Homo-oligomer: A and B are copies of this chain.
């Protein structure tokens, strides 16, 4: 007679979590490189979060209302890859076998754009937490803008894993202090409290009372949670989801490398393969008798989230459908915003941004021109989100009718980030990654140092964020060398994929902003002057040239004998030198080069037309000269500053450091003479 098949045994939390541990062990072993400690230590937390709370759709990693999940302790990448693979993302086991291999989708640290489901690139410690603060902020701001009664189309959470290292980093203070002040209660952070960092037991260098520290930031803290007890974790996450106006820190006591009998709980398990022997012992200890990379069917089924994900996604699409019927314009705008496409009237907006600078007579600081550009475009570009690291009145980053975000009133388009350059830059990255916003933030150019690695991460992720870096040279004046950038223009230009603009007037400032906003494959930095700069006559043709990054601003009367290359405040100096030289019968061309990256991207015909190979070149920039050898070579000259600045009125400093028309003209004179005897002279000069 007929007999029912036996019902499958339910998969326990521990067994499900051990799948993560096994995959981490096996992938690190196969790569002979990697970090098994964090994945094995946080496996139980990840299992409860992903199988019982995380709202996501493995079939559509870009679903706008998905929960965001970030591992700030990015060396635990194999935990994330195991989660993505098991829950059903386009990440086949073959990719896990190729962990850390060239062109695999499983690089050593999570990389945005390489692996479906990876929300941000992490590894540089602490930044993932700050990215998440930006994501959680973007979520609440979009909710305030787009949600309507009965239609919560923006309604997700941001979950973050952090380790001891993240919490030792200064950026964790900036990010957590800001999140507490703003009251980002959709932000839920899991602290992997395993007492171990690379040098050993953290007791030797990290004795913070972390729960008390986060309470001081205004966070809700759930402490002493057993990070290996599914029930405690379940209750903690439930509590955290009950928003009370505060972000939540769940402090989980864990054992690093849990499951590796001889290594767990020690630094030895952090960043090296366990080895065949220890892995065999771990398999026994974990009761995981399966071959490397083998996942039993019941466990695979337990993890697969495609059905759950489709249902959640579908439910949201139903909501969107009703929303679109009730609020058709809002729905279209929401889709546009999340897609990153600029408004239909963008071309017209850009025209207005540029047009206002065509008929300007008097000298204006480019930071002021920038403010005028923002006044022209911000009201018509709702995704533009501005801010400053407590230098609003100096950076001039707040346009006139900007709605300012207030603590616990999360709406608006401008934020005073506080004196938190690094946190601001990393949170801006998070906002851009979340979608819906083009964030820009201001500080003094010299303090781009504080934010430098977050600027680099934006360039690595090729996301659209804009850094407004004012007071861009010794033109800053009296505040002195601690505040005067010297090496910054050059060193920012060295970051791959970062466009650095240093405009010389309002027209170039407008085009720089336009290009930075239109650019969807990387970040931009705008270096702006404190001091007034003369406006050059402009029209649509010049504006088109500016977009090329380098162009002939002022042609010589006769065939040019020398080319003067300048940026920003030094363009005026080059023009003065051109006049001086003309009086001596030397024909000089002035090239304005506001963005060397854009110029380098031009076809050779444009580049050679602007910089004819056979004509000597002089570069002038109130910054470190070495960078310009790339354009002037050894025979050319660079008028710049290889020294730190001084505290004095700006005008005096330019003469004090010999950055003026006389110096440019003299260098040109020498080169024009040298034309008769090329070769050695140039090389000799280049080494002086």
Alpha-carbon gap, A540 to B513, bound state (A): 57
A172 at the interface (CB under 8 A from B): yes
A208 at the interface (CB under 8 A from B): yes
- How distant is A211 from chain B, measured CB to nearest CB, in Å? 8
Name the one of B390, B420, B447, B629 contacting A630, with C-beta atoms under 8 angstroms: B629
Interchain CB contact under 8 A, B478 and A611: no
Name the one of B165, B178, B208 contacting A216, with C-beta atoms under 8 angstroms: B208
User: Considering residues A109, A404, A487, A624, which has the most beta carbons from chain B within 10 angstroms of its beta carbon?
Assistant: A487
Interchain CB contact under 8 A, A416 and B204: yes
**A378-405 interface bits toward B, Cβ cutoff 8 Å, 1 = contact, 0 = none:** 0000000000101111100000000010
A165 proximity list for chain B (CB < 8 A): 390, 419
Alpha-carbon gap, A31 to B627, bound state (A): 34
A631 proximity list for chain B (CB < 8 A): 686
Interchain CB contact under 8 A, B479 and A123: yes
A481 at the interface (CB under 8 A from B): yes
- How distant is A483 from chain B, measured CB to nearest CB, in Å? 6
A496 proximity list for chain B (CB < 8 A): 486-487, 624, 642-644
Give residues of chain A (25-75) contacting chain B, Cβ–Cβ below 8 Å: 31, 33-34, 74-75
A671 at the interface (CB under 8 A from B): no
A582 at the interface (CB under 8 A from B): no
User: Considering residues A166, A215, A415, A418, which has the most beta carbons from chain B within 10 angstroms of its beta carbon?
Assistant: A418
**A643-684 interface bits toward B, Cβ cutoff 8 Å, 1 = contact, 0 = none:** 110111100110010000000000000000000001110111
Q: Which residue of B lies closest to A75 (CB)?
A: B479
Interchain CB contact under 8 A, B122 and A482: yes
A217 at the interface (CB under 8 A from B): yes
Interchain CB contact under 8 A, B477 and A33: yes
A480 at the interface (CB under 8 A from B): yes
A600 at the interface (CB under 8 A from B): yes
Alpha-carbon gap, A631 to B636, bound state (A): 12
Interchain CB contact under 8 A, A611 and B687: yes
Interchain CB contact under 8 A, A482 and B173: no
A687 proximity list for chain B (CB < 8 A): 600, 604, 607-608, 611
Interchain CB contact under 8 A, B391 and A198: yes
Interchain CB contact under 8 A, A647 and B107: yes
Interchain CB contact under 8 A, A480 and B109: yes
Q: Which residue of B lies closest to A492 (CB)?
A: B491
Interchain CB contact under 8 A, A206 and B418: yes
**A450-481 interface bits toward B, Cβ cutoff 8 Å, 1 = contact, 0 = none:** 10110011011000000000000000011111
A101 proximity list for chain B (CB < 8 A): 647-649
A644 proximity list for chain B (CB < 8 A): 459-460, 496-497
User: Considering residues A217, A404, A452, A482, which has the most beta carbons from chain B within 10 angstroms of its beta carbon?
Assistant: A482
- How distant is A387 from chain B, measured CB to nearest CB, in Å? 10
Interchain CB contact under 8 A, A390 and B102: no
10 shortest A-B CB distances, which residue pairs? A170-B170, A613-B683, A107-B647, A173-B173, A102-B648, A123-B482, A633-B634, A491-B491, A487-B494, A449-B453
**A-B pairs with beta carbons under 8 Å apart, 5 shown:** A100-B480, A101-B648, A103-B646, A103-B648, A124-B450
